[in-house]
A and B are shown apart, each in its own frame.
Chain A
Amino acid sequence: MFHRKRGANDFAEEIKAHLELEANALKDEGLSEEEARRKARVEFGNVTATQERFYLKGRAVWFDNLARDAQFASRQFAKHPGFACAAIAVLALGIGVSVAIFGFVDAALLQPLPYKNPNQLMSVNNNTVDSPRWPLSYPDFIDWRNLNKSFQSLDIYGSRGYLLQTPQGPEPVQAERVSASFFQTLGVQPLLGRSFFPAEDTLGGPNLVILSYGTWLRRFSAGQGILGKTVDLNNDPYTVIGVLPRTFSFAPAGNAEFWVPINKLSVHESFRNFYNFWGLGRLREGVTRQLARTEMSGIARRLERQYPTSIREKSASVVPLSKVIVGDARPILLMLMGGAALLLLTACVNVASLVLARSESRKGELAVRAALGGTPKRLMQQFVTEGLILASFANAGGIVTAAVIMRLLSRMVPKDMQFNMPFLQGVGLNLHTCGFATLVALLAALLLTVLPQTRLSLQNAREGMMDGNRSTTDRVWQRFGSDLVIAELAIAVVLLAGAGLLGQSLYRLLHVSLGFEPSHIATLDVTVPDTIYQSNRQMEGLYEEVIRPVMAVPSVESAGATSFLPVQCNCALDRIRVVGEPDRGQNVDVNERHVSAGYLPTLKAKLISGRYFTAMDTGSSPGVVVINQSLARRFFEGHDPLRERIANEELGRPSVWQIVGVIEDVHEGPLDASTGPAEYFPLSQTHDRSFTLTVRTRQDAASILPTLVSTLHHIDAQLATSDEGTLTAKIDQTQAALLHRFSAWLVGGFAFVALVLAVVGVYGIVAYSVSQRTREIGIRMAVGAQRTSVYKLVTQQAGRLTLVGLVIGLVCSPGMSLLMRSLLFGVRAWDPATLGCVAALLGLSSIAASFLPARRAASIDPISALREN
């Protein structure tokens, strides 16, 4: 029942009435007025105790005390706003950063993938000596699917570009080809329509397409009548049968707009040694990953014996899909989490030292409260309340900070990469992050509560010791405070060292020797629809037709075309052997590039021997190839490669190529990968229907891009152009560059905050110690100590702290570096130069931090210092 009954005043009134009635009755019995009053009071007993019992009855005492404590605490904070604001701000910052990072970790690593029973989903592929995860060929897939017993269902997927016919002309679009049960395997239901039926991926099946939600929205204005309509992909009509839900994403497919069943194979896709598809399987109930791996490896080996290919020791790789999807982000996130934890710790340490300093000045208040009957429990309650109030303000501030940081960080990830990080959608304020924030805040509150308690118990201990032996506790507190500052300094060292290493990695990464000149190059992707330039001869003509008008543009120096730009990926890998030599079984992945005659000169790649391609290398002349130095060294050590021929299976056909030139290595793969062997075939002999135009200009490369697009459309309106940009921008946007830049900036930010916190901490402890030693310093000066020696005295203390902090930090920093070793490039985890710089920076800052208190100490007036106390 919540209708509150009577107030205490009403009850007091009743007792008063009772006393009067009783006195009256006693008077009637013959007592005097005064006697009657006295007796009534005596008979009643303890009036105050009764009233107190009434007051306490039926009300939660703890709540009552809490309210009083809260009132008292807020008055305290209002009286010392500097302390409260500093504590709340520092804690909020720490909580905010750690919660924001946790938000990412949670979304990427802890929350399950948005599919049905995601733990059963496995990425199922080949495993070879050279690559632990190597795609499947179509015939492999068919056999694997039919022979295995481990998987409920096994599917494949592979990306492919199509030309979509739009009212504005053809447009290159990204599509994902999947086997029919792909969506059932993931457990995803389309928003509209249906997914593929089992038989729809048999070869020669119907042209069907499922749209991504975004495609449906952007290209078809989310029209309900879309089902049954057709879209034109590569000049074939595809019937729309479904639309995927808005929340659906499949990171390996990137931003695929269209999903089509794999029921048409190109010539080479039907070969067993053309590895073009990635496998995806759902484990049967009760089958472990290990069991599945063993079974699939057995199948792989049996097939290998039956249909020998050039791959040795083939087995199967079965890894959880979640690993494949989170992949690269994992080390970065773990590193960030480590940094955030350190930062939070530093923030707590600083707040703790603030609280300690405060509790020092509240000794008097506590003594009075204890003397007036405050039990230790009751005094502790006061601190708990204060800690909780601070922590809850900090929690609110921290959640706001976290929301801001999460938004900023999400924005830092470029659009192109967001498709590969579907978990970014899940980042934000939710039950997990808010819960985590509250947990952290509670821990902080605990810290804020426990620390003053240790002070209290120290004081109790002091009472047992000699009266007035003040210096003992002071020394204990000083030592404790010093330990806190040493911890802060060590944390700052670790973070600064990490930031330094990452900064150096970034610098080295961006200054890696590329083997060509990336500046002043404009690039543009060109795709040629099947309907035009149908013969190889026509294609050869087109390459010429494209280059000629581009060269005529005034500021253009040279132009060429390639199948892949440099510094993008170690992809389009080829396996080769030397003609006239037995297959040495060297499973060397060779980057295969198809380039026009003008391409290598346009890049300014350096020719070592032989020649570049010329107009004489055509589809009807013998096959020629230019190789890079790494390949020459690998295969032709000690003899002239220009006399040799290499053989491969080009588009599934055995082909032989005469080496005509050797160039210095052009950095084909990602910035942080080393350059391996590479081979360059003439476009005019491979007849690629899509290529990237590269144009070296004398002026700003970006300014020429619109001219390039219009020039191409002038040649043929059906030519599809896309992805225009400068080569330097494209290199800057690669995952490796972004990853390193991102982590360097983040850890740098962390380190900066940690440095500031540590310096503030040093200042705090030294200033406190100076204030405690005023008397001592006064005496020293009175007996003739010079100001310089006082300076020395104070800075020495800071120096000692810094030294210890530095040593501990330096010892710990390799641990941090180990955590982020996959992000280091070209520097060792134990880099003396970096660590030296960190030591110097921290030493100087902490000496600077101790300068203010030192000056105050030196300006102490001995007489007034001695008069105090």
Chain B
Amino acid sequence: MPTQLNPDDRIALLQGTLDLLILKTLLLAPCHGQGIARSIQRQSEEVFLVDHGSLYLALQRLEDNKWINGKWGVSENKRKARFYSLTARGREQLNAKQSEWERLTRAMGLILGANPEEV
């Protein structure tokens, strides 16, 4: 059982990052909403707090944009679940958003990591 962080130490997701995380998660394999939430939490070492309501609305939004595709199926433990998979357009979006994110974090890192004397 993974160690659970105190809920107070978790970070609420930044606006707009949830979409990127969902797309990235789905790049590996199709997954249902609960799986995506768990996967994001696990991969972020329990730092991110995924609001489930927002997650499902985000999934719906991505589906409306045709970046992902939703289909009812059966989960590994034989339960009914709606599985999402990445579309070709979703893959393009992921690439675009990922490079955008990398540039953003690099720029942030440059500023935040600079020595006070150099500023």
Contacts and interface: CB of A to CB of B under 8 A. Distances in A.
Contact of B63 (A5, A15, A53): A5
Interface stretch (B19-27, B79-87, B88-96, B111-119): B79-87
Interface string A10-50: 01011101101110110001100000000000011111011
Contacts of B33: 14, 18
B52 A14 contact: no
A11 B32 CA distance: 13
A22 B34 CA distance: 7
A31 to B, nearest CB: 10
A21 B61 CA distance: 22
A5 B64 contact: yes
Chain A interface SS verdict (over half): helix
A57 B38 contact: no
A626 to B, nearest CB: 99
Nearest to B82: A14
B53 A53 contact: yes
Nearest to B51: A45
B75 interface: yes
Given A22-B34, A45-B53, A46-B53, A17 B60 contact: no
A45 B57 contact: no
Given A21-B32, A24-B79, A49 B53 contact: yes
A1 to B, nearest CB: 8
A175 B21 CA distance: 90
B105 to A, nearest CB: 28
A600 to B, nearest CB: 97
B77 interface: yes
A490 B60 CA distance: 63
Q: Which one of B1, B60, B81 has the greatest number of beta carbons of chain A within 10 Å?
A: B60
B56 A11 contact: yes
Contacts of B34: 17-18, 21-22, 25
Given A5-B64, A18-B33, A58-B64, A47 B82 contact: no
Contacts of A5: 60, 63-64
B32 A50 contact: no
Given A5-B64, A24-B79, A18 B56 contact: yes
Nearest to A53: B57
B77 A17 contact: no
A44 B80 CA distance: 18
Given A17-B81, A58-B64, A50 B56 contact: yes
Contacts of A6: 60, 70
Nearest to B65: A1
Contacts of A44: 52-53
Given A5-B64, A14-B82, A25-B38, A54 B56 contact: yes
Given A17-B32, A17-B79, A21-B75, A47 B53 contact: yes
B63 A24 contact: no
Nearest to B64: A5
Contacts of B75: 21
Contacts of A21: 32, 34-35, 75, 79, 81
Contacts of B60: 5-6, 11, 54, 57
A46 B51 CA distance: 10
Contacts of A17: 32, 34, 79-82
Contacts of B56: 11, 14-15, 18, 50, 54
A15 B75 CA distance: 14
B57 A50 contact: yes
Contacts of B63: 5
Contacts of A13: 80
Interface in B92-113: none
A20 B81 CA distance: 9
Interface string A612-642: 0000000000000000000000000000000
A13 to B, nearest CB: 8
B54 to A, nearest CB: 8
A20 B79 contact: yes
A43 B53 CA distance: 10
A17 B77 CA distance: 12
Q: Which one of A14, A20, A45 has the greatest number of beta carbons of chain B within 10 Å?
A: A14
Contacts of A29: 1
Contacts of B52: 18, 43-45, 50
A17 B80 CA distance: 6
A9 to B, nearest CB: 13
A30 B79 contact: no
A577 B33 CA distance: 113
Interface in B30-59: 32-35, 38, 51-53, 56-57
Nearest to B53: A50
Contacts of B38: 25
Interface in B6-26: none
A13 B80 CA distance: 9
A47 B52 CA distance: 9
Contacts of B77: 24
B57 to A, nearest CB: 6
Contacts of B81: 14, 17-18, 21
A18 B1 CA distance: 20
Nearest to A28: B77
Nearest to B75: A21
Contacts of A20: 79
Contacts of B70: 6
Contacts of A54: 56-57, 60
A29 B57 CA distance: 27
Nearest to A19: B34
Nearest to B77: A24
B3 to A, nearest CB: 12
A10 to B, nearest CB: 8
A831 B32 CA distance: 90
A30 to B, nearest CB: 7
A712 B63 CA distance: 96
A47 B57 CA distance: 12
A18 B81 CA distance: 7
Nearest to B52: A44
A58 to B, nearest CB: 7
B77 to A, nearest CB: 6
A14 B32 CA distance: 9
Contacts of B1: 29-30
A57 B59 CA distance: 13
Nearest to B81: A17
Contacts of A11: 56, 60
Given A5-B60, A50-B52, 14 more contacts: A6-B60, A13-B80, A17-B80, A17-B81, A18-B52, A18-B81, A20-B79, A22-B34, A30-B1, A44-B53, A45-B51, A50-B53, A53-B57, A57-B61
5 contacts: A14-B33, A18-B32, A18-B52, A20-B79, A21-B32
**List of 9 A-B pairs having minimum Cβ-Cβ separation, nearest first:** A50-B53, A21-B34, A44-B52, A18-B34, A14-B82, A17-B81, A45-B53, A18-B33, A22-B34
